[in-house]
A and B are shown apart, each in its own frame.
Chain A
Amino acid sequence: MAVDTPIPKTKNAAGASATPTPRKVVRPSSIILKITMAVSGILLVLFLYVHMIGNLKIFLGGTDFDHYAHWLRDLGTPLLPHMWYLWIQRGVLTLAVLAHIYTAAVLTIRAKKARPVKYAHRPKVQGSYAARTMRWGGVIVLLFIIFHILDLTTGTVNPVGDHEHPYANVVADFAPDRWYVTLFYALAIVAVGFHLWHGIFSAARTLGQQTEKGQRRAKTIAAVLSAVLVVGYLSVPFSVMVGLVD
């Protein structure tokens, strides 16, 4: 033995010892978080589509629409007691929303920590408007969901608020003198559209989509699915407002 054996270590360029310290807290990897976000997002998109089809029944008239709403509460009967299916679905959706928000929050915090200093000069390069507004868009959508539940589920802030007659609730909601509600609704739907435009592509990528051709396809599908949702959802308040539905 000729020289003192140094403790093997790696030195980074700044001279600080970069020996990996054993992790005390096991934290979920960024990809696990993203997969959770993708899966919960896909569940929510599926719900949005089913919800939209239900909404469109408004064009068949009040009786049909109210009948559909009542049927929802009996969905699963007689296997499940009255309202049970609905509560299960609500539970799953709530979990999905919470998982989506939780993973988004953790990833956002990590991203902020990963880029603590901003560029003095920062033009837009590539990221689409949709991709760059995922986080704030998500917050807007969340606020809307809360309002929407208070409005059309519990009826708390709805001018009619009659559980037995959802058609009336909707028509009252988008009455021309309540333009601000309609406006908020429309903005929120557009925000959802933007969110999904990037979100659906991003989910596909996170779940392993990996070809250039597939990337183009995924982006097209995401654009179409988002556009259909926006049109489908906006058609209801628009029709109420212009009197097509009353």
Chain B
Amino acid sequence: MDIQVRVWRQSGPADRGRMVGYDVKDISPDASFLEMIDVLNEKLILDGDDPIAFDHDCREGICGACSMVINGVAHGPEKATTTCQLHMRHFKDGDVIDVEPWRAAAFPVIKDLVVDRSAFDQIIQAGGYISAPTGTAPDAHATPVPKKDADAAFEAATCIGCGACVAACPNGSSMLFTAAKVTHLGLMPQGQPERDSRVIDMLQAQDDAGFGGCTNMGECAEVCPKGIPLSLIGRLNSDYRKAIAKS
């Protein structure tokens, strides 16, 4: 199939950037979206142009590196699918596809489609952990965890930290990311001692990093490749309110 991609090109943080169109001919519908960009890049290199820089790594939907806004939707049109798992068969011959980087002040563009997501790491640093230095652990069966809680914690813990939630949110908010971590750790008995300080510190880090506030619009959950539900944000709000009341 033949398509045209219009890609955001920005040579560096100081460049203003622009959309540039490229024709990609004879692409197999079985190619993944990133493989389509690979093919385009091979051509660009041989033509003496600068290939498109983009983040990617595992290409099986789990590392969270890939990050393209495709036709205005973070990770593209397929539900619960990362960019690397999106295949060209979901497009039609002759389509014009717009590809842009994640857009958020907290995720500045480094080059082309590559953005800096270290703000997510800072949120985790602030409290997204359970303090359990190596060697201090009691036997794994010392504290049973109700299956319901363990399963719900797992669901929240499947977050891959890709940042699609922020890219989709009109407020550039990272609430779904933070909520997923607060929920994961807050559901485990091991996470209780730090539950209050965790939510306060993580929210502070999130605000400080320049993410916007949540208006419960739900765009984040809609594009989340792991299906993290919007309702977790309610849990974050509730935990935060209780923690502030106690402090």
Contacts and interface: CB of A to CB of B under 8 A. Distances in A.
Interface of A: 10, 12-14, 18, 20, 23, 27, 29-35, 107, 110-111, 113-123, 125-127, 131-132, 134, 198, 201-202, 204-212, 214-215
B233 A114 contact: no
A121 B72 contact: yes
Given A113-B105, A125-B168, A206 B110 contact: no
B72 A10 contact: no
A117 B219 contact: no
A126 B105 contact: no
Contact of A114 (B171, B204, B216, B232): B171
Contacts of B19: 120
Given A12-B116, A122-B72, A208-B241, A117 B103 contact: yes
A10 to B, nearest CB: 7
Interface stretch (B46-54, B129-137, B205-213): B205-213
Interface residues of B, number: 61
- Of the listed residues B100, B168, B234, the one surrounded by the most CB atoms of chain A closer than 10 A to its CB is B234
Contacts of A134: 215
Contacts of A113: 105, 210, 212
B13 A126 contact: no
- Of the listed residues B108, B213, B223, the one surrounded by the most CB atoms of chain A closer than 10 A to its CB is B213
B98 interface: yes
Contacts of A215: 230-231, 234
A204 B237 CA distance: 10
Given A12-B118, A120-B98, A125-B223, 4 more contacts: A30-B206, A207-B238, A210-B235, A210-B237
Contacts of A31: 203, 213, 236-237, 240-241
B167 to A, nearest CB: 9
Nearest to B103: A117
Contacts of A210: 231-235, 237-238
A205 B218 CA distance: 11
A20 to B, nearest CB: 7
A111 B206 CA distance: 13
A119 B237 contact: no
Contact of B69 (A119, A198, A202): A119
Given A18-B118, A131-B218, A123 B231 contact: no
B208 A20 contact: yes
B173 A114 contact: yes
Contacts of A115: 103-105, 169-172, 212
A125 B73 contact: yes
B219 A127 contact: yes
B1 interface: no
- Of the listed residues A20, A132, A134, A207, the one surrounded by the most CB atoms of chain B closer than 10 A to its CB is A20
A114 B69 contact: no
B11 interface: no
B41 interface: no
B215 A202 contact: yes
